Amino acid sequence: MHLHSITVADPPLRSSYGLHAPYALRTIIELKTDDGITGISETYGGDGPVAALEALRDRLTGMDPFRLAELYQQMNQPVSDGDRSQTYLLPGENPLDQNARTFAAIEIACLDIIGKAIGKPVCDIIGGRVRDLVPFSAYLFYKHAGGGGSGNDRREDEYGEVLDSPSAVREATQMIARYGFREIKLKGGVLPPDVEISTIRALHQEFGDAYPLRIDPNCAWSVETSVRVGRSLHQELSGGGYLEDPCPTLDGMAEVHRCLVAENNHTPLASNVAVTNFADVPRARSREAVQIVLCDPHYWGGMRQVQHLSHLCGVLGMGLSMHSNSHLGVSLMAMTHVAAACPNLTYACDTHYPWQTAADEVVAGGRIPIENGCVRIPDKPGLGVELDYDQLARGRERYSKLSYRKRDDEAEMRTHVDPNWKRILPRW
Amino acid sequence: MHLHSITVADPPLRSSYGLHAPYALRTIIELKTDDGITGISETYGGDGPVAALEALRDRLTGMDPFRLAELYQQMNQPVSDGDRSQTYLLPGENPLDQNARTFAAIEIACLDIIGKAIGKPVCDIIGGRVRDLVPFSAYLFYKHAGGGGSGNDRREDEYGEVLDSPSAVREATQMIARYGFREIKLKGGVLPPDVEISTIRALHQEFGDAYPLRIDPNCAWSVETSVRVGRSLHQELSGGGYLEDPCPTLDGMAEVHRCLVAENNHTPLASNVAVTNFADVPRARSREAVQIVLCDPHYWGGMRQVQHLSHLCGVLGMGLSMHSNSHLGVSLMAMTHVAAACPNLTYACDTHYPWQTAADEVVAGGRIPIENGCVRIPDKPGLGVELDYDQLARGRERYSKLSYRKRDDEAEMRTHVDPNWKRILPRW
């Protein structure tokens, strides 16, 4: 096992968590077999994820990459029950998910090994694709001026400052022109709700019903504000879009849904905050708190667990979409393969990929093409991508020079925007 | 695709459905690839299953055996909702399951192909085993004197007539001595409930708490009788055993459970009659009608669907066991591989295998060993078994001479036991 701690330049994107730092942290995993095959994966970065992977080194040495369920069973309780909140945690930082995250990084690299060993794409190893093209959504952020990186290592600021509705429409127009996305997500919880309402309305006016819209304020709103936004955006969100984590907790989400349904507003609620674990799913269903679960192979325990989640959501009559974090092409391909092999994927997946640049990509041949909003399953074995070791070395070098080893959007916000800033929930 | 319709000698076993005929019908499927690999599977027999498989022939020609999810999706609705009763149907004869059964036969043969192509056992292809030894239960039947077969083609009557409690204990003793089973299932619904209660008590007295007991009357009892039996056998069934399908429908099962729990009797109820489809599972859970789902790769849509079922039951806090029909070694290995790859398998699996004999086995090398009640995952690729083509030819020959093409336990009962016999539910 080789672990590569790298950084990826990241623009000053805003969310209710605060501000993205100039570099996001990622870890690239290589697992090498006796017979010379290298499987790769990508996961969260920084000291914590690397230490968790290091702790598995002895267990992995000599392991059969096909014997994944046994490793999963050893690392994970059947179902973590009890209350477990993601509300105040960044994705990838819930201690209850740690083993699922660590397992996922290993599983994906093992599936890449298997695919390479037998000459089949990963999606076909895990049961077979049901689509060759996986749709992703345009992921809009409010942001400050600036590309990613810092000092002499700055990336181009492709989208400029986006802190009002007209600039958000411009951002969407640019991103859609470049990638062809057919669904649009706005990261909200940043500007006052009335501004974000006007942004969604402006996007709807610009793109029309053919582009379903979703907004995700990451729990920044009270139940009352969530209902008010849901009511205001009834028309804009209900045509194949959704309202994502407007407020914290299943109880809060259930109350929002109840109030909206009482007004004959059936905008579905999506979540990757109130629902982060299998035990949450039936609870979310029975309380009618969440209608769409946002999966993620990185913290739901890998590809096969996401397939189980997809199936579970289908059985319970719930939709499935996919969450994303700042990531490179290895993660994008893992997301694409598992999405291709999930029959019950009812929405385009999220991806931060447009926010990263070729300068940071570690995949040989450069960035993965997104065309007509979709990533195509490559006609290559495994994940279908190899590492560019020069680029990887550059990522490691950037990492070595970086002063932080953990994402802290709140600190970043205090440094660059407001020295007194705190994440307050609900803010509105 | 080569389809082999065969018969398997079957002793005169009794159940609430009636009487087993002298021969059970099975179909052996061979799928041959361009590069000379043959994958095999075994499913229900007779005209219906063969016609359903034949109808797929064009679709399968040229298909990639890895692309299974796509075929499943084309053949099956996401979740068949609505009321669908198995109560009056023999397993394998529910028209709502037909495509799931047909798909399963193809899937298992494709997984055998994949395993043989890459040199790995099927359990490791589908995610990896969590156990090398899969436990099965002793499956006791009340029966008339006689082995399987008819005319000059009769099998040895290993267990003799079993129509009372002492002979059932003798049957269990013989079967456990031969195979080492550590859990015991009695097929009930045959003799008056008080006799069956006394049989379970006699088994418990003979084998003690170390051998969990289950009884399955196939819906022969009313709610009242079910409660009375559950009450009478509280001690005998609650130590790791269960009460299986005492009465029809989820409502009936829920009422039985409610009455027993009111008496502080937490004997779990198991089902493969009220729960035969994914849509049934959350209903069974929310009504507290069923605590243990009985899976079966043959009619739940194959191995990966059984893995989803295992996961679903884990998430919903339900147990999982496995149903069986009269079968040969190919089915036994399919059951063993999928059971090995289901972390949430909470009981020994059922198998009818002790009721079949070497004379009918189509697996090269003869019958699969069951030792200490377990089947071991072989250190061979695929399912780990090959066909004995001479034996297969004998099975086909027996089939060609047989007058029936469909299982009919009720007709058999009328011919051999009681000319006026009808399946009446509830009988008691």
What's the pLDDT tens digit per position in A101-151? 999 999 999 999 999 999 999 999 999 999 999 999 999 999 999 999 999
The catalytically annotated residue of A185, A204, A257, A323 is A323
Closest CA to B269 of B277, B278, B251: B251
End-to-end CA gap in chain A: 46
User: What number of other Cβ atoms are within 10 A of residue A390's Cβ?
Assistant: 10
Region B385-390 average pLDDT: 98
Query: Which chain A positions have a beta carbon within 8 Å of B124's beta carbon?
Result: 64, 66-67
> Which pLDDT score, from 0 to 100, does residue B42 have?
98
Rounded to whole angstroms, the Cα distance separating B93 from B96 reads 9
> Which pLDDT score, from 0 to 100, does residue B82 have?
55
SS3 of A268, please? coil
- CB-nearest to B124 from A67, A279, A286 is A67
- CB-nearest to A69 from B129, B282, B285 is B129
Q: How far A348 CA sits from the closest chain B CA (Å)?
A: 19
> Which pLDDT score, from 0 to 100, does residue B301 have?
96
Rounded to whole angstroms, the Cα distance separating A320 from A347 reads 7
Which range (A77-81, B12-16, B265-269) has the least confidence?
Answer: A77-81
Region A10-28 average pLDDT: 98
pTM: 0.97
Q: In Å, what is the CA distance from A284 to each residue of A252, A309, B286?
A: 11, 13, 14
Structure tokens that stand for B23 in this block: 């021969």
CB atoms A282 and B278 under 8 Å: no
CB atoms B315 and A344 under 8 Å: no
Report pLDDT digits (tens) over A68-109.
999 999 998 765 555 556 788 887 888 888 999 999 999 999
**pLDDT above 90 coverage of chain B, percent:** 94
Closest CA to A129 of A294, A338, A296: A338
Are B104 and B301 a contacting pair, CB within 8 Å?
yes
A67 in reach of chain B (CB within 8 A)? yes
Preferred mutation among B60, B64, B70 to probe A, highest tally of A CBs within 10 A: B70
The catalytically annotated residue of B20, B187, B257, B298 is B187
Rounded to whole angstroms, the Cα distance separating B298 from B292 reads 18
Are A394 and A187 a contacting pair, CB within 8 Å?
no
- CB-nearest to A78 from B282, B307, B343 is B343
Query: Which chain B positions have a beta carbon within 8 Å of A111's beta carbon?
Result: none
- Is it true that the peptide bond before A426 is cis, omega within 30 degrees of 0? yes
Q: DSSP H helical segments within B149-302, as ranges?
A: 165-179, 193-207, 223-232, 234-238, 250-262, 280-286
> Which pLDDT score, from 0 to 100, does residue B84 have?
59
Are A76 and A99 a contacting pair, CB within 8 Å?
yes
Q: DSSP H helical segments within B92-222, as ranges?
A: 98-118, 122-125, 165-179, 193-207
A311 in reach of chain B (CB within 8 A)? yes
Dihedral (C-alpha) A269, A273, A276, A278: value to the nearest 10 degrees?
A: -40
- How do A374-376 and A133-135 pair as beta strands? antiparallel
Mean pLDDT for chain A? 96
Q: Report which residue type is found at B238.
A: S
> Which pLDDT score, from 0 to 100, does residue B80 have?
55
Region B306-333 average pLDDT: 97
> Which pLDDT score, from 0 to 100, does residue A202 have?
98
Is residue B38 predicted with pLDDT exceeding 70?
Answer: yes
B308 in reach of chain A (CB within 8 A)? yes
List, in order of start, the domains of chain A with CATH numbers: 1-401 (3.20.20.120)
Is A311 considered catalytic here?
Answer: no
> Which pLDDT score, from 0 to 100, does residue B95 have?
84
Q: Report which residue type is found at A163.
A: L
State phi, psi for A74 to the nearest 5 degrees. -70, -30
Report pLDDT digits (tens) over A209-246.
999 999 999 999 999 999 999 999 999 998 899 999 99
Rounded to whole angstroms, the Cα distance separating A355 from A9 reads 9
At residue A2 the predicted structure's pLDDT band, cuts being 50, 70 and 90, is very high
Is residue B46 predicted with pLDDT exceeding 80?
Answer: yes
Rounded to whole angstroms, the Cα distance separating B252 from B284 reads 11
Is residue B88 predicted with pLDDT exceeding 90?
Answer: no
Closest CA to B29 of B303, B328, B309, B300: B328
**pLDDT above 90 coverage of chain A, percent:** 94
Rounded to whole angstroms, the Cα distance separating B410 from B15 reads 10
Is residue B77 predicted with pLDDT exceeding 80?
Answer: no
Q: How far B340 CA sits from the closest chain A CA (Å)?
A: 10
Are A381 and A119 a contacting pair, CB within 8 Å?
yes
Given strand A242-244, what is the order of strands in its sheet? A138-141, A184-187, A213-216, A242-244, A269-271, A292-295, A319-322
- How do A23-32 and A38-44 pair as beta strands? antiparallel
Q: How far B118 CA sits from the closest chain A CA (Å)?
A: 7
State phi, psi for A366 to the nearest 5 degrees. 90, -165
> Which pLDDT score, from 0 to 100, does residue B97 have?
87
Write the DSSP symbol of residue B106: H
**pLDDT above 70 coverage of chain B, percent:** 98
Mean pLDDT for chain B? 96
Query: Which chain A positions have a beta carbon within 8 Å of B308's beta carbon?
Result: 307-308, 311-312
CB atoms A66 and B314 under 8 Å: no
Q: In Å, what is the CA distance from A74 to each residue of A67, A100, A298, A410?
A: 12, 11, 18, 35
Chain A residues 102-131 within an 8 A CB cutoff of chain B? 117-118, 120, 124-125, 127-130
CB atoms B282 and A282 under 8 Å: yes
Q: How far B308 CA sits from the closest chain A CA (Å)?
A: 6
Query: Which chain A positions have a beta carbon within 8 Å of B118's beta carbon?
Result: 117-118
User: What number of other Cβ atoms are within 10 A of residue A355's Cβ?
Assistant: 25
Query: Which chain B positions have a beta carbon within 8 Å of A314's beta carbon?
Result: 78-79, 278
Closest B-chain CA to A310: B308
> Which pLDDT score, from 0 to 100, does residue B52 have?
97
Q: How far B355 CA sits from the closest chain A CA (Å)?
A: 33
Please give the ipTM for the structure prediction.
Answer: 0.96
| Burial class of A422 by CB neighbour count within 10 A (0 to 12, 13 to 18, 19+) | exposed
Is B187 considered catalytic here?
Answer: yes
Is residue B210 predicted with pLDDT exceeding 80?
Answer: yes
Query: Which chain B positions have a beta carbon within 8 Å of A128's beta carbon?
Result: 64, 66-71
- How do B23-32 and B292-295 pair as beta strands? unpaired
Q: How far B64 CA sits from the closest chain A CA (Å)?
A: 9
Report pLDDT digits (tens) over A330-382.
999 999 999 999 999 999 999 999 999 999 999 999 999 999 999 999 999 99
> Which pLDDT score, from 0 to 100, does residue A161 have?
98
Structure tokens that stand for A130 in this block: 């049901």
Rounded to whole angstroms, the Cα distance separating A420 from B12 reads 83
Structure tokens that stand for B284 in this block: 């069974």
Q: In Å, what is the CA distance from A165 to each residue of A151, A192, A210, A273, A373?
A: 30, 12, 20, 26, 23
Buried b / exposed e over B70-100, threshold 16 CB at 10 Å, is bbbbebbeebbeeeeebeebbbbbbebbbbb
Which range (A273-287, A310-324, B76-90, B150-164) has the least confidence?
Answer: B76-90
User: What number of other Cβ atoms are within 10 A of residue A379's Cβ?
Assistant: 8
The catalytically annotated residue of A20, A116, A143, A187 is A187
CB atoms A68 and B128 under 8 Å: yes
Is residue A292 predicted with pLDDT exceeding 80?
Answer: yes
Region A317-339 average pLDDT: 97
CB atoms A344 and B78 under 8 Å: yes
Closest A-chain CA to B312: A312
SS3 of B187, please? strand
Give every CB contact of residue B77 below 8 A, 6+ residues apart in sequence.
none
Report pLDDT digits (tens) over B104-163.
999 999 999 999 999 999 999 999 999 999 999 999 999 999 999 999 999 999 999 999
Is residue B83 predicted with pLDDT exceeding 60?
Answer: no
A337 in reach of chain B (CB within 8 A)? no
Closest CA to B355 of B5, B13, B6: B13
Are B187 and B160 a contacting pair, CB within 8 Å?
no
Structure tokens that stand for B349 in this block: 């699996």
SS3 content of chain B, % helix, strand, coil (to 5): 40, 15, 45
> Which pLDDT score, from 0 to 100, does residue B85 have?
66
Assign residue A62 a region (left: φ > 0; alpha: ψ between -120 and 50; beta: otherwise).
Answer: left
